[in-house]
């Protein structure tokens, strides 16, 4: 398979530091696999601690000039990159499908979604405002301005290889911050292609530095300890997020953490069942269920649980599972052996405790990491999947009787990212929206992410928000200057 980067040169597989494509200082490389075929696509530079130190020093030096650029110049770079991403949709989608597994149509959807962050933040760059007021005693005028926070450490997961990058990089560019960026080991190619696009769009050397590696702590650790980086923006598991939060404490760095989820998907007895099933398909099956916002526990009222589950199982059984690169595929493979083993374990555990399998319930006997779309009914409260991120195409249906009961069960988790509620009663919708301990609620919809929305969670799902009006604030510091209202007479 020949993969080309968007600027039509060969595939980028080196580190990107100070505007140059360079090998790892050790010369080592690591393989990138196609999860649908288990074949190695290519080898990528395996960055070291020495590479990491060089990258953060470059980002620190570049910050001096970069913070002085005009908002319009930064906006123009983002806008040019937005156009470049869109005009290379097919190449980027194919690359993403090859290294991550999602079906091509979903990969194209991610390209559009990811590009939109650059367009959104190209508009936000020009809207960084300030404030002016007067002290209560009338003596001083207060001038509030905003400044870039400084060099940022960006770390992303494998499940949305392009969008997780643009969501962070777009904000940092708009705010005037330089960056060191470590993409996931399993999906580095899309991120390297993104760096090539930004270079082509005119991003000055040293503003974005990308270090791929198979030893994440060896690269990210020196960045966190450097004293040069002023902020970390991380998307990934709660476990790793906590490690970075602890490391950030040593240099009192700003933190944005987008972590794991355990989304409740609640279907009330008055719900429009067609919409609820459609919503469940979107909330559960987008990205093969490998999404932090994925419906993890489907709470369905006892009166409709049988009918809802039957319809959902029918839809799930009709999905075509296979290589995402093949036209007509609805569901691709899971990311790796560990992901597949985890899903298998969680389903087996639920079944051993009494859950009924309505469809699926097994891995596929073929190359790649495939698991059949699965619906489980009557999942008992003690099943492990109630308290674990499934990250796979498995929809566990849990039956409830009362509103109070389902709210209590939905909130009985340390996570608080997304939640969904299906009802035709507007008062009920408002009641559930208020009661759910999450950062994002979908009412009669299974999709909650948009560049215009402040994406993020509460509890152990993270700190801060990405996107929306508040996204850029995460990369800005406030400064206030006091100026005498009436200067002292000379
Ligand atoms: P992960 O294991 O936490 O990895 C995320 C990133 O952190 C990867 O780049 C990883 O590198 C790196 N990393 C791992 N250990 C590290 C360490 N000790 N120090 C510094 N960096 C380290 O998560 P994942 O499995 O890739 O992604 C799935 C998780 O991401 C799920 O929990 C999901 O809910 C969450 N997620 C959250 C959001 C959100 O917006 N809230 C969005 C998408 C995903 P390697 O690739 O080399 O391991």
For 198-220, the pLDDT digits (tens) are 999 999 999 999 999 999 999 99
pLDDT (0 to 100) of residue 5: 44
Ligand 1 closest atom vs CA 261 = 34
Asked which of 7-21, 173-187, 395-409, 441-455 is least confident by mean pLDDT, the reply is: 7-21
Kindly state if the Cβ of 50 falls inside 6 Å of ligand 1. no
Q: What is the mean pLDDT of residues 228-237?
A: 98
Q: Which residue has the CA at smallest separation from atom 19 of ligand 1?
A: 217
Separation of CA 156 and ligand 1 centre (Å):
6
Separation of CA 101 and ligand 1 centre (Å):
17
Ligand 1 closest atom vs CA 292 = 34
pLDDT digits (tens, 9 = 90+) for 178-188: 999 999 999 99
pLDDT digits (tens, 9 = 90+) for 91-134: 999 999 999 999 999 999 999 999 999 999 999 999 999 999 99
Q: Which residue has the CA at smallest separation from atom 30 of ligand 1?
A: 236
Separation of CA 354 and ligand 1 centre (Å):
32
Separation of CA 238 and ligand 1 centre (Å):
8
Separation of CA 176 and ligand 1 centre (Å):
25
Percent of the chain surpassing pLDDT 90: 97
Residue bearing tokens 């960045």: 223
pLDDT (0 to 100) of residue 384: 97
pLDDT (0 to 100) of residue 6: 43
Separation of CA 170 and ligand 1 centre (Å):
19
pTM: 0.96
| ∠ CA 456-462-467, rounded to 5° | 30
Kindly state if the Cβ of 182 falls inside 6 Å of ligand 1. yes
Active site residues: 258, 292
Percent of the chain surpassing pLDDT 70: 97
| Beta-bridge partners for 422 | 267
Kindly state if the Cβ of 76 falls inside 6 Å of ligand 1. no
Structure tokens at 21: 């494509």
How many angstroms separate the CA atoms of 298 and 290, rounded?
Answer: 16
Instruction: State yes or no: pLDDT of 4 exceeds 60.
Output: no
How far is CA 68 from each of CA 71, 147, 198, rounded to the nearest angstrom? 9, 10, 19
Q: Which residue has the CA at smallest separation from atom 12 of ligand 1?
A: 216
pLDDT (0 to 100) of residue 486: 80
Ligand 1 closest atom vs CA 155 = 9
Q: What is the mean pLDDT of residues 47-64?
A: 98
Ligand 1 closest atom vs CA 213 = 47
pLDDT (0 to 100) of residue 490: 63
Separation of CA 240 and ligand 1 centre (Å):
7
Instruction: For a ligand 1 pocket test, name from 240, 256, 261 the mutation site with the most ligand atoms within 8 angstroms of its C-beta.
Output: 240
Question: What are residue 4's phi and psi, to 5 degrees?
Answer: -110, 150
pLDDT (0 to 100) of residue 487: 72
Kindly state if the Cβ of 235 falls inside 6 Å of ligand 1. yes
pLDDT digits (tens, 9 = 90+) for 360-401: 999 999 999 999 999 999 999 999 999 999 999 999 999 999
Q: Which residue has the CA at smallest separation from atom 21 of ligand 1?
A: 216
Q: Which residue has the CA at smallest separation from atom 17 of ligand 1?
A: 217
Kindly state if the Cβ of 83 falls inside 6 Å of ligand 1. no
Separation of CA 235 and ligand 1 centre (Å):
6
Kindly state if the Cβ of 237 falls inside 6 Å of ligand 1. yes
Q: What is the mean pLDDT of residues 455-471?
A: 97
Mean residue pLDDT of the chain comes to 96
pLDDT digits (tens, 9 = 90+) for 276-290: 999 999 999 999 999
Q: Which residue has the CA at smallest separation from atom 46 of ligand 1?
A: 184
Instruction: For a ligand 1 pocket test, name from 100, 114, 157 the mutation site with the most ligand atoms within 8 angstroms of its C-beta.
Output: 157
Separation of CA 37 and ligand 1 centre (Å):
23
Q: Which residue has the CA at smallest separation from atom 28 of ligand 1?
A: 236
Instruction: For a ligand 1 pocket test, name from 224, 236, 288, 448 the mutation site with the most ligand atoms within 8 angstroms of its C-beta.
Output: 236
pLDDT digits (tens, 9 = 90+) for 76-102: 999 999 999 999 999 999 999 999 999
pLDDT digits (tens, 9 = 90+) for 249-277: 999 999 999 999 999 999 999 999 999 99
**Angle at which helices 163-175 and 104-125 cross, to 10°:** 10
Kindly state if the Cβ of 158 falls inside 6 Å of ligand 1. yes
Kindly state if the Cβ of 222 falls inside 6 Å of ligand 1. no
pLDDT (0 to 100) of residue 488: 66
Instruction: State yes or no: pLDDT of 8 exceeds 50.
Output: no
Kindly state if the Cβ of 184 falls inside 6 Å of ligand 1. yes
Instruction: State yes or no: pLDDT of 489 exceeds 80.
Output: no
How many angstroms separate the CA atoms of 154 and 201, rounded?
Answer: 20
């Amino acid at each position: 398979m020949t993969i080309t980067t968007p600027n039509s040169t060969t595939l980028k597989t080196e580190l990107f530091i100070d505007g140059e494509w360079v090998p790892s200082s050790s010369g080592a490389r690591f393989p990138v696999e196609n999860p649908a075929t288990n074949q190695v696509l290519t080898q990528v530079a395996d960055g070291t601690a020495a590479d990491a130190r060089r990258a953060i020093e470059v980002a620190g030096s570049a910050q001096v000039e970069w913070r002085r650029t005009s908002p319009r110049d930064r906006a123009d770079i983002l806008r040019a990159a937005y156009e470049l991403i869109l005009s290379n949709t097919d190449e980027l989608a194919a690359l993403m499908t090859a290294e991550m597994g999602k079906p091509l149509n979903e990969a194209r959807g991610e390209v559009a979604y990811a590009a939109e962050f650059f367009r959104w933040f190209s508009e936000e760059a020009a809207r960084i405002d300030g404030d002016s007021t007067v002290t209560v005693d009338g003596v001083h005028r207060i001038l509030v301005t905003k400044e870039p926070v400084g060099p940022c450490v960006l770390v992303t997961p494998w499940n949305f290889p392009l969008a997780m990058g643009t969501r962070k990089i777009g904000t940092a560019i708009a705010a005037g911050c330089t960056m060191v960026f470590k993409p996931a080991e399993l999906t580095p190619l899309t991120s390297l292609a993104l760096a090539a696009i930004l270079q082509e769009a005119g991003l000055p050397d040293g503003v974005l530095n990308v270090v791929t590696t198979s030893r994440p702590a060896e690269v990210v650790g020196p960045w966190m300890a450097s004293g040069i980086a002023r902020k970390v923006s991380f998307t990934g598991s709660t476990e790793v997020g906590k490690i970075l939060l602890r490391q950030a404490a040593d240099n009192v760095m700003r933190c944005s953490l987008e972590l794991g989820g355990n989304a409740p998907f609640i279907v009330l007895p008055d719900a429009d069942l067609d919409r609820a099933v459609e919503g469940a398909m979107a909330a559960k099956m987008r990205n093969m269920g490998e999404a932090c916002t994925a419906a993890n526990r489907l709470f369905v009222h006892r009166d409709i649980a049988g009918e809802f589950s039957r319809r959902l199982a029918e839809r799930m059984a009709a999905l075509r599972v296979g290589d995402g690169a093949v036209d007509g595929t609805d569901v691709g493979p899971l990311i790796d052996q560990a992901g597949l083993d985890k899903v298998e374990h969680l389903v087996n555990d639920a079944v051993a405790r009494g859950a009924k399998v309505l469809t699926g319930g097994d891995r596929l006997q073929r190359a790649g990491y495939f698991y059949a779309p699965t619906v489980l009914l009557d999942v008992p409260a003690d099943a492990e999947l109630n308290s674990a991120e499934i990250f796979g195409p498995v929809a566990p249906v849990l039956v409830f009787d009362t509103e109070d009961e389902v709210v209590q069960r939905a909130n009985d988790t340390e996570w608080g990212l997304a939640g969904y509620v299906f009802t035709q009663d507007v008062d009920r919708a408002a009641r559930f929206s208020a009661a759910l301990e999450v950062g994002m609620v979908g009412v009669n919809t299974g999709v909650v992410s948009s560049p215009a929305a402040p994406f993020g969670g509460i509890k152990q799902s993270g700190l801060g928000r990405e996107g929306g009006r508040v996204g850029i604030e995460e990369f800005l510091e406030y400064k206030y200057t006091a100026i005498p209202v009436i200067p002292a007479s000379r």
